């Protein structure tokens, strides 16, 4: 003990001499070794509490809401509520388009591509692009068919845009709404029916229409047989996506009801494709009878074709 006390007094004397020689010098006190483990132990306990807080979260932590599945969504009348439906990146959209163009047998399109993050971005712009593709291609097809005729004067028909928009958007929204209601009704009667949300069904229908965009552009070619072959090919691809998606949802139902549901889905899908091709591209020219105010002496009626 005497040696330790002498060492402390010697250290104190050295510090005093140093301060006397240089008043601006900084002194450092050395803590007792017994205090270090306490501080270290305190840090370990603090870090452990921080890790627990990160896992369990606090009342005002977003991580708690995500881990507990209690993250609150914005009210439906706010912009933030609808913004979540368009929260999707380019890679996801391209992956879903690829899945709709190249369907994999035995793979459910919803579980494989949609369920992780359903969106409205892809279906909305696919329908918008298809509207203009059908309308513009229909006008160009009419131009190329009558190209070279002397009495032909090309006048674009802008009504085709509104007609195509009404037909395509009504199909992409009303049919999924009816199908969603039907599946919900059957789900109350049959326990094993797979349930899809309305947003997931809209995604399936929206992405299934992508194949018709390049098909509508190729419909410009003035060959009726080629057009119908292209339409049948696109119908098989997009229709197979719908069948492989909705057949697992109804296969445990009554056999007749299940088959009737799938057949109805395919028929409505085919009706849209056939209707677009027949109306915008292969519609026959209507003959319009124009009567003059005064009939000519021979009593003939002039008949002209609507251009």
Would 60 be classed as within a structural domain? no
Strand partners, 303: 289
Torsion angle of C-alpha atoms 192, 105, 259, 275, degrees rounded to 10: 130
Do 250 and 258 meet the contact criterion of CB atoms below 8 Å apart? yes
Domain membership of residue 222 (yes or no) is: yes
Kindly report the backbone phi and psi dihedral angles of residue 305, in degrees, each rounded to the nearest multiple of 5, phi listed first.
Answer: -95, 135
What's the total number of domains in the chain?
1
Identify whether 77 is part of a domain. no
Find residue 305's DSSP bridge partners.
287
Structural domain containing residue 222: 83-283
User: Tens-of-pLDDT digits for all 307 residues of the chain?
Assistant: 544 455 444 555 555 565 555 555 555 555 544 444 444 444 444 444 343 333 333 333 333 333 333 345 666 566 676 677 787 888 989 999 999 998 888 788 888 888 888 888 999 999 999 999 999 998 888 887 777 677 767 777 788 899 999 999 999 999 999 999 998 888 877 666 667 889 999 999 999 999 999 999 999 988 889 999 999 999 999 999 999 999 988 888 888 999 999 999 999 999 999 999 999 887 655 433 333 344 455 555 454 444 4
Kind and range of the H or E element at 226? helix 224-250
In 10 A of CB 213, how many CB atoms? 19
Structure tokens belonging to residue 130: 């298809």
In a domain, residue 101? The reply is yes
Note whether residue 149 is domain-resident. Answer: yes
Q: Is residue 10 part of a domain?
A: no
The answer to the question of residue 191 being in a domain is: yes
Q: Residue 123 domain-assigned?
A: yes
């Amino acid at each position: 003990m005497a040696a330790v006390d002498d060492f402390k007094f010697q250290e104190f004397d050295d510090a005093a001499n140093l301060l006397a020689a240089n008043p601006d010098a900084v002194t450092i006190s050395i803590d007792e070794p017994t205090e270090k483990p306490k501080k270290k132990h305190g840090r370990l306990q603090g870090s452990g509490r921080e890790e627990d807080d990160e896992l369990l979260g606090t009342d005002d932590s977003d991580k708690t809401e995500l881990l507990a599945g209690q993250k609150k969504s914005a009210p439906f009348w706010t912009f933030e509520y609808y913004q979540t439906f368009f929260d999707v990146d380019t890679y996801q959209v391209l992956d879903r388009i690829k899945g709709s163009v190249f369907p994999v047998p035995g793979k459910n399109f919803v579980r494989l591509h949609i369920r992780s993050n359903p969106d409205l971005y892809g279906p909305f712009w696919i329908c918008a692009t298809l509207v203009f593709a059908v309308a513009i291609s229909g006008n160009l097809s009419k131009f190329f068919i009558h190209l070279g005729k002397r009495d032909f004067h090309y006048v674009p028909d802008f009504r085709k845009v509104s007609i195509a928009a009404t037909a395509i958007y009504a199909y992409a929204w009303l049919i999924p709404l009816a199908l969603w209601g039907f599946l919900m009704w059957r789900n109350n009667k049959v326990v094993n029916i797979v349930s899809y949300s309305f947003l997931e069904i809209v995604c399936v229908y929206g992405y299934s229409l992508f194949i018709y965009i390049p098909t509508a552009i190729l419909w410009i070619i003035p060959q009726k047989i080629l057009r119908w072959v292209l339409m049948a090919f696109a119908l098989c691809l997009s229709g197979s996506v719908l069948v492989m998606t909705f057949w697992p949802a109804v296969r445990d139902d009554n056999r007749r009801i299940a088959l009737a549901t799938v057949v109805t889905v395919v028929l409505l899908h085919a009706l849209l494709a056939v209707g677009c091709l027949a109306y915008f591209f292969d519609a026959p020219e209507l003959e319009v009878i124009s009567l003059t105010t005064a009939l000519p002496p021979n009593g003939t009626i002039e008949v002209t074709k609507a251009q």
